[in-house]
A and B are shown apart, each in its own frame.
Chain A
Amino acid sequence: MEVNLKIAEEFGLKKEEYEKVCKLLKRTPNITELSIFSAMWNEHCSYKSSKIHLKKLNTKSKNVIQGPGENAGVVDIGDDHAIVFKIESHNHPSFIEPYQGAATGVGGIMRDVFTMGARPIANLNSIHFGSSQHKKTKNLLRGVVKGIGGYGNCIGVPTIGGQTSFDESYNGNILVNAMTVGLVKKNKIFYSKAAGINKPVIYVGSKTGRDGIHGASMASASFDERIEEKKPTVQVGDPFTEKLLMEACLELMEGKSIIAIQDMGAAGLTSSSVEMASKGKLGIELNLNKVPCREENMLPHEIMLSESQERMLIILENGKEKEAKKIFDKWNLDFEIIGKTTDTKTIEIFFNEQKVVDIPIDFLSENAPQYDRKWKKVKLPQKIKFKKNEFKSLKINDCLKKILSNPNICEKKWIWEQYDHTVMGDTIQKPGGDAGVVRVHGTNKAIAASVDSSASYCNSHPLTGGKQVVCESWRNLISVGAEPIAITNCLNFGNPEKEKNMGEFVECVEGINEASKYLEFPIVSGNVSFYNETKDKGIKPTPTIGGIGLLKEYSKIMTMDFKKIGNQVIVLGKTDGHLDQSIFAKEILGEKKGPPPEVNLFNEKNIGRTILKLYQNSYIETSHDISLGGIMVAISKMCIKGNKGIKIGKLNNLMNKFEYFFGEDQGRYIVEIKQENLTKVEDILDKNSVHYDKLGIITKDSLEIENEPKLTIDELKKYNNNWIKDYMVN
């Protein structure tokens, strides 16, 4: 087939990009070469719209072993151990085929982690659906949850946390972000940088089929009504093979035969071979007739673009082939030498004894297009002046009941009970807490992990929203007693060619970066997902932050369930009663405008550090951060979890009680303190200039605010626990 502009455009290249290809090659590419360019130059692989902004990110700290640019980020957790972790999106495939889309999302991110030599020890996810009233939502939710479970459960890695939200901006474009945390010995980390000439290039894992061809290009374009036609571009997952591949790779990694290893993810064999050669400043030669295929008569460009799952590319030391093959034979996996490294700095591909590709590696990586796209700044919206009489007819309890059963607030047990969250025998905090916590097997340490996003805040003011998500992650880790270490981000945005969407991206990233720097909470890995739009309607900007922290003594983990009747409950951090963009404003007052709550990084850090100080002195019995729904929702959840009540006294200040109880001011926590420790705690708080309010005393079985009727714990449970089950079953 003769290549021309029309074909190039069908492959996802823009006119000027195709012209650049021809100019670089000084000739017209053939169809296989065009495929390789289209795969390497698309948004998903090249980060062409985001790169100049991502370069500014804060990626270093004393704990960072590997920042962005590898399969995943790596951080030091002391002793001989390091943690490898990353979050990645699988949005487009999940909307088209929710089960397989979500399943292969989980499979892909786990491969990124075990490629580096780490055994995955925890999975998390952040999933976002359209309005609960939208006709597709129920099926998508069911399919995504089954897909995540179907893959993770089979591999035997616990899913310890996650986040689910519903918002009409995802009606035509759901988000599925999957995160994996792995554990590795510091001297056994594997990288994707090739080294040495004439080293064998090995293909291992599943056979190559036609599934997923153009998957990466699909993820780099918007949806239209012909979306269903794209079903064949969704990959099909096989968790059993992945489990075998993981065990085989980890077994091979015990020896010293691997020079470099990379999983075949987006753009399959193309991106893995090019990236490995590019990082090593080498060339690579492949013979496609050697690639194990499961379909007949596959053409070179199909083999190069296939996104069949559960495959890896390994560059091996010479002479180690036999010993390596033995391991893959044991696990019943294909093992083929398909090429070698060269000193030509070119990718040369042969098929039926003919050279079908001859492209200098630089053209694909360093010469890939980079855009400084136009973007628009978002002004801070005007604060809404809520009028007194808007609150007049409202009752605190009625508002609380309504908010507790809001889809974004309600208990998500229906989801996480479908995930195996206890396999591996080290889960010490299940989903449903502030952060999931797993022990570092065989030690006293534990890793806390949390995923967070706040699309409404980011939508209203991206800069503040970006900062807020990082802070929320930090708070969730602090709340369980973990020292926050680092974050990974999954940046889900609309069409970068639109100034509005690009602006949201730029400012969210700026906010994330600012908070990351201030909190010394570096960004070590991540992924960008643009073009989350259908028929020109983009999603709300949704950067997802996955944070991890370290508990030195897992036995000292803090949880959010109220412990003992008579103990004092304190709110740390100042409550100003910010209702704009809150669940209360939207759900009760019907007000969607206004700015998000302000983020004060100084206070954030100071309060977080002070809590860790109190924690180290064992002064905190229970802790929970305050987020969506404000004090009232936080307190309700602490009551429900601990099966205890609270008596809240008269408010000291003259603030409108709705603002006080439902405001979503940032940088706040609720803690439970023993009466005998109270003065010592107050002392430390005063010394560190942390604002606090004494909220109430723990009681037997009801939530009681002065001058309001009591609410029993059973009532709270009824409102909080049933929404999703009722929604899915009926």
Chain B
Amino acid sequence: MKSSVIIFPGSNCDRDMDVALKKFGFKNQMVWHNDPKLPKSDLIVLPGGFSFGDYLRCGSIAGKSKIINSVIDFAKSGGLVLGICNGFQILTETGLLPGVLQQNRNIEFICKNIYVKVNNTDNKYFKNIKKNILELHIAHNEGSYFCSNQELKSIQDNNQIAITYCNSKGLSDHEHNPNGAIDNIAGIFNKEKNILGMMPHPERMIDKYLSGEDGSIFFENLIKNFK
């Protein structure tokens, strides 16, 4: 399985993603944002970081960069596109995913372990996943997902909510919503479910000496669904 991780100036989780993808069997390559075209891939990943410093809105400049047109074409043809953290922000800026990511409720950067519940397994990312409550890690300042009521209804009706923040038992409530995201949303799909944007970083939880191992479950499952 071939994957590509796109590097924008200011990306800083690109290497971590590369390590994770390779560990679980992807043949990964790194792609510079100014490269004219995408190499042949089964999966495109937009990694975390602070693309272009995030000095405008997070992800907005990256959302207009040269490579993005190829990413949009790839996604529209049904290719898998995964955006983590800043990558999620970029995906909303390109319009590939609905809604926006606002500053965290407590107006502070948050770096900690959280739990998410998988809401939809009818897609390549979560089909047959071993556990439906995963312990993952977040590290962001603008991770509070927001959209209009109309959009929310639409993403609910289309089963686009991928994962929601919860406690270790799967209870999603205000207390276990780290950033104030609407309906505890931590990640969403597009209508076709080939594009996934999520705030948590599975690539930081890929062996037992790190903050945890549930990221491994995510990647193992992902590559299995490709085969």
Contacts and interface: CB of A to CB of B under 8 A. Distances in A.
Contacts of A417: 110-112
B13 A156 contact: yes
Nearest to A154: B50
A419 B9 contact: no
A149 interface: yes
Contact of B49 (A150, A156, A421): A156
B203 A153 contact: no
B101 interface: no
B210 A427 contact: yes
A428 B137 CA distance: 14
B139 A425 contact: no
Best-buried of B20, B54, B209, B210 by chain A (most CB within 10 Å): B209
Nearest to B215: A425
B109 A420 contact: yes
A691 to B, nearest CB: 34
A601 interface: no
Contacts of B48: 423
A420 B139 contact: yes
A422 B137 contact: yes
A238 B55 CA distance: 10
Interface in A521-568: 554-555, 557
Given A153-B139, A426-B210, 12 more contacts: A146-B108, A153-B50, A238-B53, A240-B52, A243-B9, A243-B10, A417-B111, A420-B139, A422-B137, A422-B211, A425-B204, A427-B210
Interface range for A? 20 to 34
Contacts of A554: 209
Interface in A151-175: 153-156
Contacts of A155: 12
Contact of A240 (B13, B50, B110): B50
Contacts of A363: none
B139 A555 contact: no
A649 B128 CA distance: 52
B109 A149 contact: yes
B210 A422 contact: yes
Nearest to B55: A240
B53 A154 contact: yes
Contacts of A331: 9
Contacts of B34: 330
26 contacts: A146-B109, A156-B50, A240-B54, A243-B9, A243-B10, A243-B50, A331-B9, A332-B9, A417-B110, A417-B111, A420-B111, A421-B111, A423-B12, A423-B13, A423-B16, A423-B48, A424-B15, A424-B16, A425-B19, A425-B20, A425-B203, A425-B210, A426-B210, A428-B209, A430-B211, A557-B209
A503 interface: no
A146 B204 CA distance: 23
Given A238-B53, A240-B55, A425 B10 contact: no
Contacts of A511: none
Given A149-B109, A417-B112, A418-B110, A156 B19 contact: no
B206 interface: yes
Contacts of A425: 15-16, 19-20, 203-204, 206, 210
A656 B118 CA distance: 56
Contact of B139 (A423, A426, A557): A423
Contacts of A209: none
A332 B61 CA distance: 15
A332 B32 CA distance: 13
A150 B140 CA distance: 11
Interface string B26-68: 0000000010000000000000111011110000000000000
